[in-house]
A and B are shown apart, each in its own frame.
Chain A
Amino acid sequence: MKTLKNLGYLLGLPVILILIWWAATLETENFFVPTPASLVETFAEVWFGERIFTDVLPSIGRLAVGVLVAIVIGVVGGVLIGSVRWLRALLEPTLEFFRAIPPPVLVPVLMLLMGITDTMKVVVIISGCIWPVLLNTIEGVRAVDPVLSDSAHTYGVDGWARVRYLVLPSASPQIMAGVRQSMSLGLILMVISEMFASSSGLGFAIVQFQRSFSIPEMWSGIVVLGLLGVGMSFIFQWAERNILRWYHGQKEVENAA
Protein backbone atom coordinates (compact mmCIF):
# COMPACT_ATOMS: atom_id res chain seq x y z
CA MET A 1 0.00 0.00 0.00
CA LYS A 2 2.76 2.36 0.97
CA THR A 3 4.85 1.60 -2.11
CA LEU A 4 1.75 2.15 -4.22
CA LYS A 5 1.30 5.57 -2.70
CA ASN A 6 4.94 6.45 -3.24
CA LEU A 7 4.65 5.31 -6.84
CA GLY A 8 1.67 7.60 -7.19
CA TYR A 9 3.71 10.58 -6.01
CA LEU A 10 6.59 9.59 -8.25
CA LEU A 11 4.55 9.28 -11.43
CA GLY A 12 1.72 11.71 -10.75
CA LEU A 13 3.18 14.83 -12.29
CA PRO A 14 4.81 13.13 -15.30
CA VAL A 15 1.49 11.49 -16.15
CA ILE A 16 -0.35 14.81 -15.94
CA LEU A 17 2.26 16.54 -18.10
CA ILE A 18 2.06 13.83 -20.72
CA LEU A 19 -1.75 14.08 -20.74
CA ILE A 20 -1.58 17.83 -21.31
CA TRP A 21 0.97 17.33 -24.06
CA TRP A 22 -1.19 14.65 -25.60
CA ALA A 23 -4.29 16.88 -25.50
CA ALA A 24 -2.38 19.83 -26.96
CA THR A 25 -1.06 17.85 -29.90
CA LEU A 26 -4.39 16.10 -30.57
CA GLU A 27 -5.74 18.58 -33.11
CA THR A 28 -2.85 20.47 -34.58
CA GLU A 29 -0.03 19.01 -36.51
CA ASN A 30 3.12 20.93 -35.60
CA PHE A 31 6.24 19.74 -37.37
CA PHE A 32 8.47 20.65 -34.45
CA VAL A 33 6.36 19.09 -31.73
CA PRO A 34 5.68 15.36 -32.08
CA THR A 35 2.77 13.63 -30.37
CA PRO A 36 3.49 11.40 -27.36
CA ALA A 37 2.72 8.29 -29.35
CA SER A 38 5.06 9.14 -32.19
CA LEU A 39 7.79 10.08 -29.72
CA VAL A 40 7.52 6.76 -27.94
CA GLU A 41 7.67 4.98 -31.25
CA THR A 42 10.69 6.97 -32.37
CA PHE A 43 12.34 6.55 -29.01
CA ALA A 44 12.21 2.80 -29.26
CA GLU A 45 13.32 2.83 -32.88
CA VAL A 46 16.22 5.18 -32.36
CA TRP A 47 17.66 4.11 -29.02
CA PHE A 48 16.89 0.40 -28.66
CA GLY A 49 19.43 -0.68 -31.18
CA GLU A 50 22.91 -0.01 -32.30
CA ARG A 51 22.88 3.47 -30.85
CA ILE A 52 23.06 2.13 -27.34
CA PHE A 53 26.56 0.97 -28.13
CA THR A 54 27.68 3.76 -30.45
CA ASP A 55 26.25 6.77 -28.60
CA VAL A 56 24.61 6.13 -25.26
CA LEU A 57 27.12 3.89 -23.55
CA PRO A 58 30.23 5.81 -24.70
CA SER A 59 28.65 9.01 -23.41
CA ILE A 60 27.75 7.47 -20.07
CA GLY A 61 31.21 5.98 -19.84
CA ARG A 62 32.95 9.31 -20.40
CA LEU A 63 30.58 10.99 -17.98
CA ALA A 64 31.18 8.39 -15.28
CA VAL A 65 34.95 8.45 -15.67
CA GLY A 66 35.03 12.25 -15.76
CA VAL A 67 32.85 12.73 -12.69
CA LEU A 68 34.57 9.99 -10.68
CA VAL A 69 38.06 11.26 -11.46
CA ALA A 70 36.94 14.79 -10.60
CA ILE A 71 35.55 13.59 -7.25
CA VAL A 72 38.73 11.70 -6.40
CA ILE A 73 41.05 14.57 -7.34
CA GLY A 74 38.75 17.08 -5.67
CA VAL A 75 38.57 15.18 -2.38
CA VAL A 76 42.27 14.30 -2.24
CA GLY A 77 43.31 17.83 -3.21
CA GLY A 78 40.74 19.37 -0.90
CA VAL A 79 41.95 17.37 2.09
CA LEU A 80 45.55 18.36 1.36
CA ILE A 81 44.82 22.03 0.76
CA GLY A 82 42.40 22.21 3.66
CA SER A 83 44.86 20.65 6.12
CA VAL A 84 48.08 22.41 5.16
CA ARG A 85 47.91 26.09 5.91
CA TRP A 86 50.74 27.33 3.70
CA LEU A 87 49.46 25.28 0.78
CA ARG A 88 46.09 26.94 1.14
CA ALA A 89 47.61 30.43 1.28
CA LEU A 90 49.66 29.60 -1.79
CA LEU A 91 46.88 28.09 -3.91
CA GLU A 92 43.69 29.84 -2.99
CA PRO A 93 43.99 32.94 -5.25
CA THR A 94 44.97 30.76 -8.21
CA LEU A 95 42.10 28.39 -7.58
CA GLU A 96 39.68 31.30 -7.69
CA PHE A 97 41.06 32.21 -11.12
CA PHE A 98 40.70 28.74 -12.55
CA ARG A 99 37.30 28.27 -11.08
CA ALA A 100 36.09 31.45 -12.75
CA ILE A 101 36.86 30.11 -16.23
CA PRO A 102 33.69 28.59 -17.71
CA PRO A 103 34.67 25.03 -18.66
CA PRO A 104 33.00 25.10 -22.13
CA VAL A 105 35.58 27.60 -23.36
CA LEU A 106 38.18 24.96 -22.68
CA VAL A 107 36.70 22.73 -25.37
CA PRO A 108 38.36 24.51 -28.32
CA VAL A 109 41.60 24.87 -26.41
CA LEU A 110 41.71 21.23 -25.40
CA MET A 111 40.70 20.22 -28.93
CA LEU A 112 43.78 21.95 -30.27
CA LEU A 113 46.00 20.48 -27.61
CA MET A 114 44.68 16.94 -27.47
CA GLY A 115 42.75 16.43 -30.67
CA ILE A 116 39.17 15.19 -30.82
CA THR A 117 39.58 12.22 -28.55
CA ASP A 118 37.78 10.55 -25.70
CA THR A 119 40.48 11.85 -23.39
CA MET A 120 39.74 15.41 -24.45
CA LYS A 121 36.05 14.99 -23.63
CA VAL A 122 36.80 13.41 -20.28
CA VAL A 123 39.22 16.22 -19.48
CA VAL A 124 36.54 18.79 -20.27
CA ILE A 125 34.18 17.06 -17.84
CA ILE A 126 36.87 16.83 -15.15
CA SER A 127 37.93 20.44 -15.58
CA GLY A 128 34.42 21.60 -14.78
CA CYS A 129 33.37 19.04 -12.18
CA ILE A 130 36.43 19.30 -10.01
CA TRP A 131 35.72 22.77 -8.61
CA PRO A 132 32.58 22.21 -6.57
CA VAL A 133 34.11 19.11 -4.99
CA LEU A 134 37.50 20.69 -4.36
CA LEU A 135 36.24 23.93 -2.87
CA ASN A 136 33.56 22.24 -0.76
CA THR A 137 36.08 19.74 0.55
CA ILE A 138 38.46 22.52 1.56
CA GLU A 139 35.64 24.22 3.42
CA GLY A 140 34.59 21.00 5.11
CA VAL A 141 38.11 20.12 6.17
CA ARG A 142 38.63 23.55 7.67
CA ALA A 143 35.40 23.32 9.63
CA VAL A 144 36.39 20.23 11.64
CA ASP A 145 35.27 20.79 15.22
CA PRO A 146 38.28 21.83 17.35
CA VAL A 147 37.12 19.81 20.37
CA LEU A 148 36.75 16.71 18.22
CA SER A 149 40.12 17.39 16.70
CA ASP A 150 41.67 17.68 20.18
CA SER A 151 40.01 14.42 21.21
CA ALA A 152 41.45 12.61 18.22
CA HIS A 153 44.84 14.15 18.87
CA THR A 154 45.01 13.11 22.53
CA TYR A 155 44.09 9.53 21.64
CA GLY A 156 46.85 9.40 19.07
CA VAL A 157 44.54 9.35 16.07
CA ASP A 158 46.96 11.07 13.70
CA GLY A 159 48.13 10.88 10.13
CA TRP A 160 46.10 8.65 7.86
CA ALA A 161 43.84 7.51 10.70
CA ARG A 162 42.96 11.13 11.34
CA VAL A 163 41.95 11.61 7.71
CA ARG A 164 40.01 8.37 7.65
CA TYR A 165 38.17 8.63 10.98
CA LEU A 166 37.96 12.36 11.54
CA VAL A 167 38.56 14.61 8.56
CA LEU A 168 36.72 12.77 5.79
CA PRO A 169 33.57 11.91 7.77
CA SER A 170 33.47 15.36 9.26
CA ALA A 171 33.72 16.98 5.82
CA SER A 172 31.37 14.50 4.17
CA PRO A 173 28.26 16.73 4.26
CA GLN A 174 30.10 19.45 2.35
CA ILE A 175 31.77 16.94 0.06
CA MET A 176 28.41 15.45 -0.86
CA ALA A 177 27.01 18.90 -1.59
CA GLY A 178 29.93 19.41 -3.97
CA VAL A 179 29.41 16.03 -5.58
CA ARG A 180 25.78 16.85 -6.25
CA GLN A 181 26.73 20.03 -8.11
CA SER A 182 29.42 18.15 -10.01
CA MET A 183 27.00 15.54 -11.24
CA SER A 184 24.67 18.02 -12.89
CA LEU A 185 27.59 20.00 -14.25
CA GLY A 186 29.04 16.77 -15.63
CA LEU A 187 25.93 16.01 -17.64
CA ILE A 188 25.98 19.47 -19.20
CA LEU A 189 29.67 19.26 -20.03
CA MET A 190 29.29 15.79 -21.47
CA VAL A 191 26.76 17.10 -23.99
CA ILE A 192 28.75 20.23 -24.79
CA SER A 193 31.99 18.34 -25.35
CA GLU A 194 30.20 16.19 -27.88
CA MET A 195 28.41 18.99 -29.67
CA PHE A 196 31.49 20.90 -30.69
CA ALA A 197 33.25 18.17 -32.53
CA SER A 198 32.57 14.53 -32.34
CA SER A 199 31.52 11.49 -34.23
CA SER A 200 29.58 9.76 -31.52
CA GLY A 201 27.78 10.36 -28.29
CA LEU A 202 24.43 11.69 -27.13
CA GLY A 203 25.26 15.34 -27.74
CA PHE A 204 26.54 14.52 -31.20
CA ALA A 205 23.44 12.50 -32.02
CA ILE A 206 21.06 15.24 -30.92
CA VAL A 207 22.85 17.87 -33.01
CA GLN A 208 22.85 15.50 -35.99
CA PHE A 209 19.10 14.94 -35.72
CA GLN A 210 18.49 18.62 -35.41
CA ARG A 211 20.58 19.43 -38.50
CA SER A 212 18.79 16.80 -40.55
CA PHE A 213 15.38 17.95 -39.30
CA SER A 214 14.64 14.60 -37.69
CA ILE A 215 12.63 16.38 -35.04
CA PRO A 216 11.02 13.44 -33.14
CA GLU A 217 14.46 11.80 -33.03
CA MET A 218 15.97 14.97 -31.62
CA TRP A 219 13.31 15.12 -28.92
CA SER A 220 13.84 11.49 -28.06
CA GLY A 221 17.53 12.25 -27.51
CA ILE A 222 16.59 14.97 -25.08
CA VAL A 223 14.39 12.50 -23.25
CA VAL A 224 17.38 10.17 -22.96
CA LEU A 225 19.36 12.99 -21.34
CA GLY A 226 16.56 13.66 -18.92
CA LEU A 227 16.32 10.02 -17.97
CA LEU A 228 20.08 9.92 -17.51
CA GLY A 229 19.83 12.87 -15.13
CA VAL A 230 17.10 11.15 -13.15
CA GLY A 231 19.19 8.00 -12.94
CA MET A 232 22.19 9.93 -11.65
CA SER A 233 20.05 11.67 -9.12
CA PHE A 234 18.80 8.32 -7.80
CA ILE A 235 22.33 6.99 -7.50
CA PHE A 236 23.34 10.14 -5.66
CA GLN A 237 20.45 9.99 -3.25
CA TRP A 238 21.16 6.37 -2.49
CA ALA A 239 24.82 7.12 -1.79
CA GLU A 240 23.98 10.17 0.29
CA ARG A 241 21.47 8.29 2.40
CA ASN A 242 24.13 5.77 3.29
CA ILE A 243 27.07 8.10 3.78
CA LEU A 244 25.22 10.86 5.62
CA ARG A 245 22.80 8.82 7.69
CA TRP A 246 24.44 10.08 10.88
CA TYR A 247 24.31 13.66 9.69
CA HIS A 248 20.60 13.70 8.90
CA GLY A 249 19.87 11.86 12.13
CA GLN A 250 21.82 14.39 14.13
CA LYS A 251 20.11 17.29 12.36
CA GLU A 252 16.73 15.78 13.13
CA VAL A 253 17.57 15.50 16.81
CA GLU A 254 18.87 19.07 16.90
CA ASN A 255 15.80 20.42 15.16
CA ALA A 256 13.51 18.56 17.51
CA ALA A 257 15.25 20.09 20.50
Chain B
Amino acid sequence: MQPDPTQAAPEAMLSVRGLKKVYQTDGGDVEAVRNLTFDLRAGELACLVGPSGSGKTTLLKCISGLMAPTEGEVLLSGKRVSGPPKKMAVVFQEYGRSLFPWMRVRDNVELPLKNQGVPRAERDRLVDEALEAVGLSHVPRSYPWQLSGGMQQRVAIARAIAYQPEVLLMDEPFAAVDAQTRADLEDLIRTVWKKLGITILFVTHDIDESVYLGERVIILSSSPTVIQEDIAIDLPEERDQLETRSLPRFTELRHHVYEQIQLAKKGDRPAAAGTPSAGPTPAAASGADVA
Protein backbone atom coordinates (compact mmCIF):
# COMPACT_ATOMS: atom_id res chain seq x y z
CA MET B 1 0.00 0.00 0.00
CA GLN B 2 2.71 2.48 1.00
CA PRO B 3 5.15 3.15 -1.77
CA ASP B 4 8.52 1.70 -1.12
CA PRO B 5 10.96 4.61 -0.80
CA THR B 6 13.91 2.43 -1.79
CA GLN B 7 12.39 1.73 -5.17
CA ALA B 8 13.25 3.98 -8.07
CA ALA B 9 10.41 6.21 -9.20
CA PRO B 10 8.23 3.75 -11.08
CA GLU B 11 6.86 4.67 -14.47
CA ALA B 12 3.30 5.76 -14.86
CA MET B 13 0.86 4.70 -12.15
CA LEU B 14 -2.04 5.88 -14.20
CA SER B 15 -1.82 6.21 -17.92
CA VAL B 16 -4.48 7.64 -20.21
CA ARG B 17 -3.80 6.78 -23.85
CA GLY B 18 -5.63 8.41 -26.73
CA LEU B 19 -8.88 8.47 -24.80
CA LYS B 20 -11.99 9.38 -26.72
CA LYS B 21 -15.57 9.24 -25.53
CA VAL B 22 -18.64 9.70 -27.67
CA TYR B 23 -22.03 9.47 -25.99
CA GLN B 24 -24.74 7.88 -28.08
CA THR B 25 -27.97 9.70 -27.34
CA ASP B 26 -31.39 9.94 -28.95
CA GLY B 27 -30.46 13.36 -30.20
CA GLY B 28 -27.38 12.03 -31.97
CA ASP B 29 -23.78 11.49 -30.95
CA VAL B 30 -22.10 13.79 -28.43
CA GLU B 31 -18.34 13.85 -28.54
CA ALA B 32 -17.45 14.68 -24.95
CA VAL B 33 -13.75 13.88 -25.11
CA ARG B 34 -11.81 13.86 -28.37
CA ASN B 35 -8.30 12.76 -27.57
CA LEU B 36 -6.58 12.77 -24.20
CA THR B 37 -3.16 11.35 -23.39
CA PHE B 38 -1.33 11.87 -20.12
CA ASP B 39 0.46 9.94 -17.39
CA LEU B 40 0.42 10.28 -13.64
CA ARG B 41 3.45 9.00 -11.78
CA ALA B 42 2.91 7.06 -8.58
CA GLY B 43 2.50 9.54 -5.76
CA GLU B 44 1.69 12.50 -7.95
CA LEU B 45 -0.97 15.04 -7.12
CA ALA B 46 -2.37 16.52 -10.31
CA CYS B 47 -5.22 18.96 -10.72
CA LEU B 48 -7.47 18.93 -13.73
CA VAL B 49 -9.15 22.16 -14.72
CA GLY B 50 -11.33 22.91 -17.68
CA PRO B 51 -14.46 24.78 -18.68
CA SER B 52 -17.84 23.40 -17.66
CA GLY B 53 -18.90 20.64 -20.00
CA SER B 54 -15.36 19.93 -21.13
CA GLY B 55 -15.65 16.28 -20.15
CA LYS B 56 -13.91 16.20 -16.78
CA THR B 57 -16.52 13.96 -15.22
CA THR B 58 -16.56 11.84 -18.34
CA LEU B 59 -12.79 11.39 -18.11
CA LEU B 60 -13.02 10.39 -14.45
CA LYS B 61 -15.70 7.84 -15.21
CA CYS B 62 -13.52 6.29 -17.89
CA ILE B 63 -10.49 6.22 -15.60
CA SER B 64 -12.47 4.60 -12.80
CA GLY B 65 -13.76 1.90 -15.11
CA LEU B 66 -17.41 2.88 -14.74
CA MET B 67 -17.66 3.59 -18.45
CA ALA B 68 -15.80 2.14 -21.40
CA PRO B 69 -14.03 4.70 -23.59
CA THR B 70 -15.03 4.82 -27.24
CA GLU B 71 -11.40 4.74 -28.27
CA GLY B 72 -8.12 4.52 -26.45
CA GLU B 73 -7.46 2.99 -23.08
CA VAL B 74 -6.65 3.61 -19.46
CA LEU B 75 -3.81 1.74 -17.82
CA LEU B 76 -3.39 1.37 -14.08
CA SER B 77 0.11 0.15 -13.14
CA GLY B 78 0.41 -1.03 -16.72
CA LYS B 79 -2.81 -3.03 -16.64
CA ARG B 80 -5.76 -2.06 -18.75
CA VAL B 81 -8.76 -0.83 -16.75
CA SER B 82 -11.97 -2.65 -17.70
CA GLY B 83 -13.98 -2.30 -14.48
CA PRO B 84 -13.63 -0.41 -11.20
CA PRO B 85 -10.10 -1.23 -9.96
CA LYS B 86 -9.75 -2.43 -6.42
CA LYS B 87 -7.44 0.19 -5.08
CA MET B 88 -9.12 3.26 -6.51
CA ALA B 89 -11.58 5.53 -4.75
CA VAL B 90 -13.74 8.18 -6.37
CA VAL B 91 -15.39 11.19 -4.77
CA PHE B 92 -18.26 12.16 -7.01
CA GLN B 93 -19.43 15.60 -7.96
CA GLU B 94 -22.99 14.82 -6.90
CA TYR B 95 -22.06 14.34 -3.26
CA GLY B 96 -25.67 14.39 -2.09
CA ARG B 97 -26.47 11.32 -4.13
CA SER B 98 -23.33 9.35 -3.44
CA LEU B 99 -24.03 8.48 0.20
CA PHE B 100 -26.42 5.76 1.28
CA PRO B 101 -29.35 7.58 2.89
CA TRP B 102 -30.38 4.47 4.84
CA MET B 103 -27.06 4.25 6.62
CA ARG B 104 -25.69 6.44 9.33
CA VAL B 105 -22.56 8.47 8.65
CA ARG B 106 -20.31 5.96 10.31
CA ASP B 107 -21.79 3.00 8.46
CA ASN B 108 -21.39 4.83 5.18
CA VAL B 109 -17.69 5.32 5.79
CA GLU B 110 -17.31 1.78 7.08
CA LEU B 111 -19.17 -0.10 4.36
CA PRO B 112 -16.36 -0.36 1.76
CA LEU B 113 -13.97 -1.62 4.44
CA LYS B 114 -16.47 -4.08 5.82
CA ASN B 115 -17.14 -5.33 2.34
CA GLN B 116 -13.41 -5.92 1.85
CA GLY B 117 -13.24 -7.96 5.03
CA VAL B 118 -11.03 -5.56 6.97
CA PRO B 119 -10.98 -6.75 10.61
CA ARG B 120 -13.20 -4.96 13.06
CA ALA B 121 -10.54 -3.22 15.14
CA GLU B 122 -8.65 -1.87 12.15
CA ARG B 123 -11.90 -0.80 10.54
CA ASP B 124 -12.89 1.18 13.62
CA ARG B 125 -9.52 2.86 13.71
CA LEU B 126 -9.60 3.84 10.03
CA VAL B 127 -13.14 5.15 10.25
CA ASP B 128 -12.43 7.15 13.39
CA GLU B 129 -9.32 8.65 11.87
CA ALA B 130 -11.05 9.57 8.64
CA LEU B 131 -14.02 11.19 10.37
CA GLU B 132 -11.65 13.02 12.68
CA ALA B 133 -9.62 14.24 9.71
CA VAL B 134 -12.62 15.82 7.99
CA GLY B 135 -13.85 17.26 11.28
CA LEU B 136 -16.93 15.11 11.58
CA SER B 137 -16.21 12.92 14.58
CA HIS B 138 -19.17 14.47 16.37
CA VAL B 139 -21.89 13.18 14.01
CA PRO B 140 -21.22 9.46 13.43
CA ARG B 141 -24.80 8.51 14.30
CA SER B 142 -26.52 11.02 12.07
CA TYR B 143 -27.97 10.14 8.71
CA PRO B 144 -26.47 11.91 5.67
CA TRP B 145 -29.69 13.80 4.96
CA GLN B 146 -29.53 15.32 8.41
CA LEU B 147 -26.29 17.06 7.47
CA SER B 148 -25.59 20.17 5.44
CA GLY B 149 -24.30 19.85 1.89
CA GLY B 150 -20.73 20.60 2.89
CA MET B 151 -20.85 18.04 5.67
CA GLN B 152 -22.20 15.42 3.29
CA GLN B 153 -19.33 16.09 0.96
CA ARG B 154 -16.90 15.66 3.83
CA VAL B 155 -18.46 12.30 4.66
CA ALA B 156 -17.84 11.25 1.06
CA ILE B 157 -14.23 12.39 1.41
CA ALA B 158 -13.86 10.54 4.70
CA ARG B 159 -15.17 7.40 3.06
CA ALA B 160 -12.55 7.71 0.33
CA ILE B 161 -9.72 8.34 2.79
CA ALA B 162 -10.69 5.47 5.09
CA TYR B 163 -10.63 3.15 2.10
CA GLN B 164 -6.88 3.83 1.74
CA PRO B 165 -6.79 3.78 -2.03
CA GLU B 166 -3.65 3.92 -4.12
CA VAL B 167 -5.33 6.23 -6.57
CA LEU B 168 -7.88 8.83 -5.53
CA LEU B 169 -10.06 10.61 -8.06
CA MET B 170 -11.99 13.64 -6.88
CA ASP B 171 -14.58 15.46 -8.95
CA GLU B 172 -15.01 19.05 -7.74
CA PRO B 173 -15.21 17.82 -4.18
CA PHE B 174 -15.21 21.20 -2.48
CA ALA B 175 -17.91 22.86 -4.53
CA ALA B 176 -20.41 22.85 -1.68
CA VAL B 177 -18.29 23.87 1.28
CA ASP B 178 -17.66 27.30 2.72
CA ALA B 179 -14.33 29.07 2.19
CA GLN B 180 -12.89 28.27 5.60
CA THR B 181 -13.76 24.57 5.45
CA ARG B 182 -12.48 24.54 1.94
CA ALA B 183 -9.07 25.79 2.98
CA ASP B 184 -8.97 23.18 5.75
CA LEU B 185 -9.94 20.42 3.35
CA GLU B 186 -7.32 21.50 0.83
CA ASP B 187 -4.67 21.15 3.48
CA LEU B 188 -6.21 17.87 4.55
CA ILE B 189 -5.89 16.49 1.03
CA ARG B 190 -2.24 17.45 0.90
CA THR B 191 -1.61 15.92 4.32
CA VAL B 192 -3.31 12.67 3.39
CA TRP B 193 -1.50 12.65 0.08
CA LYS B 194 1.87 12.96 1.77
CA LYS B 195 1.06 10.52 4.52
CA LEU B 196 -0.28 7.75 2.32
CA GLY B 197 1.81 8.50 -0.73
CA ILE B 198 -1.20 8.06 -2.96
CA THR B 199 -1.75 9.28 -6.50
CA ILE B 200 -4.45 11.92 -6.71
CA LEU B 201 -6.26 13.36 -9.68
CA PHE B 202 -8.25 16.34 -8.49
CA VAL B 203 -10.86 17.98 -10.69
CA THR B 204 -11.73 21.57 -9.86
CA HIS B 205 -13.04 24.67 -11.54
CA ASP B 206 -11.21 26.89 -9.07
CA ILE B 207 -7.93 28.12 -10.55
CA ASP B 208 -6.39 29.19 -7.24
CA GLU B 209 -7.22 25.86 -5.79
CA SER B 210 -5.64 23.96 -8.65
CA VAL B 211 -2.40 25.91 -8.31
CA TYR B 212 -2.35 25.72 -4.53
CA LEU B 213 -3.05 22.00 -4.35
CA GLY B 214 -1.31 20.46 -7.29
CA GLU B 215 2.19 19.51 -8.23
CA ARG B 216 0.90 19.81 -11.71
CA VAL B 217 -2.12 21.29 -13.44
CA ILE B 218 -3.68 19.76 -16.52
CA ILE B 219 -5.85 22.20 -18.41
CA LEU B 220 -8.50 20.84 -20.72
CA SER B 221 -9.81 22.63 -23.77
CA SER B 222 -13.51 23.11 -24.28
CA SER B 223 -15.45 20.30 -25.91
CA PRO B 224 -14.45 18.34 -28.04
CA THR B 225 -11.75 18.00 -25.49
CA VAL B 226 -8.01 17.75 -25.82
CA ILE B 227 -5.30 18.84 -23.40
CA GLN B 228 -4.85 22.59 -23.62
CA GLU B 229 -1.78 22.60 -21.47
CA ASP B 230 0.02 20.55 -18.87
CA ILE B 231 2.13 22.58 -16.47
CA ALA B 232 4.26 21.75 -13.46
CA ILE B 233 3.64 23.78 -10.32
CA ASP B 234 7.09 24.62 -9.00
CA LEU B 235 5.98 25.98 -5.65
CA PRO B 236 7.68 24.91 -2.42
CA GLU B 237 6.42 21.57 -1.22
CA GLU B 238 5.27 22.89 2.16
CA ARG B 239 2.16 24.84 1.28
CA ASP B 240 0.54 27.32 3.57
CA GLN B 241 -2.76 29.01 2.88
CA LEU B 242 -1.43 32.51 3.52
CA GLU B 243 2.23 32.26 2.64
CA THR B 244 2.03 30.18 -0.52
CA ARG B 245 -0.82 32.21 -1.89
CA SER B 246 1.12 35.43 -1.46
CA LEU B 247 4.22 34.18 -3.29
CA PRO B 248 4.92 36.04 -6.56
CA ARG B 249 5.33 32.69 -8.26
CA PHE B 250 1.83 31.67 -7.14
CA THR B 251 0.39 34.77 -8.76
CA GLU B 252 2.36 34.14 -11.92
CA LEU B 253 1.11 30.58 -12.17
CA ARG B 254 -2.50 31.42 -11.52
CA HIS B 255 -2.33 34.14 -14.16
CA HIS B 256 -1.00 31.65 -16.58
CA VAL B 257 -3.66 29.03 -15.84
CA TYR B 258 -6.33 31.70 -16.01
CA GLU B 259 -5.16 32.83 -19.43
CA GLN B 260 -5.10 29.32 -20.74
CA ILE B 261 -8.63 28.65 -19.55
CA GLN B 262 -9.84 31.86 -21.17
CA LEU B 263 -8.20 30.69 -24.38
CA ALA B 264 -9.79 27.29 -23.99
CA LYS B 265 -13.20 28.86 -23.53
CA LYS B 266 -12.76 30.90 -26.68
CA GLY B 267 -12.07 27.66 -28.47
CA ASP B 268 -8.38 28.24 -29.10
CA ARG B 269 -6.71 24.94 -29.74
CA PRO B 270 -3.27 24.34 -28.30
CA ALA B 271 -0.36 24.62 -30.71
CA ALA B 272 0.89 21.16 -31.60
CA ALA B 273 3.60 20.63 -28.97
CA GLY B 274 5.16 23.98 -28.31
CA THR B 275 6.41 24.87 -24.85
CA PRO B 276 4.55 27.85 -23.43
CA SER B 277 6.51 31.06 -23.37
CA ALA B 278 5.18 32.42 -20.09
CA GLY B 279 7.67 30.55 -18.00
CA PRO B 280 6.13 27.47 -16.40
CA THR B 281 7.94 24.34 -17.43
CA PRO B 282 6.02 21.45 -18.98
CA ALA B 283 5.45 18.70 -16.46
CA ALA B 284 7.41 16.15 -18.42
CA ALA B 285 10.59 18.24 -18.12
CA SER B 286 10.66 18.59 -14.34
CA GLY B 287 9.23 15.86 -12.25
CA ALA B 288 11.52 13.56 -10.31
CA ASP B 289 11.79 15.98 -7.41
CA VAL B 290 8.25 15.34 -6.17
CA ALA B 291 7.19 12.93 -3.42
Give the interface of A toward B (CB within 8 A): 145, 147-148, 150-151, 153-157, 161, 165-166, 169-170, 172, 246-247, 249-250, 253-254
Flag whether B146 is at the interface (Cβ < 8 A): yes
Q: Which residues of B contact A172 (CB under 8 A)?
A: 102
Q: Are B89 and A155 in contact (CB under 8 A)?
A: yes
Partner of A166, one of B86, B100, B146: B100
The DSSP consensus for interface residues of chain B is loop
Give the interface of B toward A (CB within 8 A): 61, 64-66, 84, 86, 88-90, 92, 94, 97-103, 111-112, 115-116, 143, 145-146, 159, 163
Q: Which residues of B contact A148 (CB under 8 A)?
A: 97-100
Given A156-B84, A250-B145, answer yes or no on A165-B66 (Cβ-Cβ < 8 Å): no
Q: Which residues of A contact B102 (CB under 8 A)?
A: 169-170, 172, 246-247
| Other contacts beyond A150-B61, A150-B90, A247-B101: 10, CB < 8 A | A151-B90, A151-B99, A154-B65, A154-B88, A156-B84, A156-B86, A157-B112, A246-B102, A246-B145, A247-B102
Given A249-B143, A250-B145, answer yes or no on A153-B101 (Cβ-Cβ < 8 Å): no
| Nearest CB of chain A from residue B26's CB, rounded to whole Å | 17
Partner of A154, one of B66, B101, B116, B145: B66
Q: Are A156 and B115 in contact (CB under 8 A)?
A: yes
List the A residue with the shortest CB-CB distance to B116. A156
Q: Which residues of B contact A249 (CB under 8 A)?
A: 143, 145-146
| Nearest CB of chain A from residue B189's CB, rounded to whole Å | 18
30 pairs, A vs B, C-beta closer than 8 Å? A147-B97, A148-B98, A148-B99, A148-B100, A150-B61, A150-B66, A150-B92, A151-B90, A151-B92, A154-B65, A154-B89, A155-B111, A155-B163, A156-B112, A156-B115, A157-B111, A157-B112, A157-B115, A165-B100, A166-B100, A169-B100, A170-B102, A172-B102, A246-B101, A246-B102, A246-B143, A247-B102, A249-B143, A250-B143, A254-B145
Q: Are B64 and A154 in contact (CB under 8 A)?
A: yes
For the complex of A and B, 4 pairs with smallest distance between CB atoms: A155-B112, A147-B97, A169-B102, A246-B102
Q: Which residues of B contact A147 (CB under 8 A)?
A: 92, 94, 97-98
CA distance A169 to B143 in the complex (A): 14
Most chain B CB neighbours (cut-off 10 Å) among A151, A169, A172, A250 = A151
